[in-house]
Amino acid sequence: MPVKMRLSRKGRSKAPFYHIVVADSRSPRDGKFIEKIGTYNPMTKPATIELDRDAAFDWLTKGAQPTDTVRAILSFKGVYYKKHLMRGLKKGALTQEQVDTLLNDWISSKDAKIQSRIEKNKADLEAFRKAVSGEAKKSKAPVADESTKEAADAFFHAGEESAEVVAEAVAEETAPEAAVEEVVEAPVVEETPQATETPAEVEAPAEETPAEVEAPAEETPAEVETPTEEVAEASEEAPSTDEAAAEESTEEA
User: What pLDDT does 160 receive?
Assistant: 52
127 or 232, which is more confident: 127
Instruction: Specify whether the CB–CB gap between 20 and 4 falls below 8 A.
Output: no
Residue 241 lies in a domain: no
User: What pLDDT does 125 receive?
Assistant: 87
Query: 74 to each of 24, 47, 82, 107, how far by Cα in Å?
Result: 19, 14, 10, 13
Query: 214 to each of 101, 177, 209, 220, 223, how far by Cα in Å?
Result: 130, 61, 9, 11, 15
Residue 145 lies in a domain: no
Check whether the bond before 16 is cis (ω within 30° of 0): no
Instruction: Specify whether the CB–CB gap between 82 and 53 falls below 8 A.
Output: yes
Same-domain status, 19 and 72: yes
Which pLDDT tens digit goes with each residue over 7-25?
A: 999 988 989 999 999 999 8
Nearest CA-CA partner of 106 in 76, 66, 86: 76
Same-domain status, 115 and 165: no
Residue 221 lies in a domain: no
User: What pLDDT does 131 receive?
Assistant: 85
Q: What are the respective helix, strand and coil percentages of the chain, to the nearest 5?
A: 70, 10, 20
What is the pairing mode between strands 48-51 and 65-66? unpaired
Distance (Å, whole) CA 46 – CA 123: 14
Residue 84 lies in a domain: yes
Q: Which of 80, 98, 132 is the last residue of a domain?
A: 132
Same-domain status, 7 and 38: yes
Same-domain status, 42 and 118: yes
User: Across the strands, what pairs with 21?
Assistant: 6, 36
Three-state secondary-structure class, residue 249 = helix
DSSP E strand stretches across 25-146: 35-41, 48-51, 65-66
Same-domain status, 118 and 186: no
Residue 234 lies in a domain: no
Residue 118 lies in a domain: yes
Distance (Å, whole) CA 186 – CA 191: 9
Same-domain status, 128 and 156: no
Same-domain status, 7 and 112: yes
Same-domain status, 161 and 71: no
Report the range out of 12-21, 169-178, 192-201, 221-230 with the highest average pLDDT.
Answer: 12-21
User: Across the strands, what pairs with 35?
Assistant: 22
| Lowest-pLDDT choice from 35-39, 61-65, 75-79, 243-247 | 243-247
Same-domain status, 26 and 106: yes
Query: 16 to each of 29, 43, 220, how far by Cα in Å?
Result: 14, 7, 106
Domain of 184 in residue numbering reads as 152-192
Query: 64 to each of 6, 57, 88, how far by Cα in Å?
Result: 10, 10, 21
Residue 232 lies in a domain: no
Same-domain status, 106 and 175: no
Residue 210 lies in a domain: no
Q: In what order do the strands lie in the sheet with 65-66?
A: 48-51, 35-41, 17-24, 3-10, 65-66
Which pLDDT tens digit goes with each residue over 49-90?
A: 999 999 999 999 999 999 999 999 999 999 999 999 999 998
Same-domain status, 45 and 158: no
Domain count, the chain: 2
Which pLDDT tens digit goes with each residue over 129-160?
A: 888 886 655 656 665 566 776 776 776 666 55
Same-domain status, 114 and 158: no
Which pLDDT tens digit goes with each residue over 204-241?
A: 444 444 444 444 444 444 444 444 455 445 445 544 55
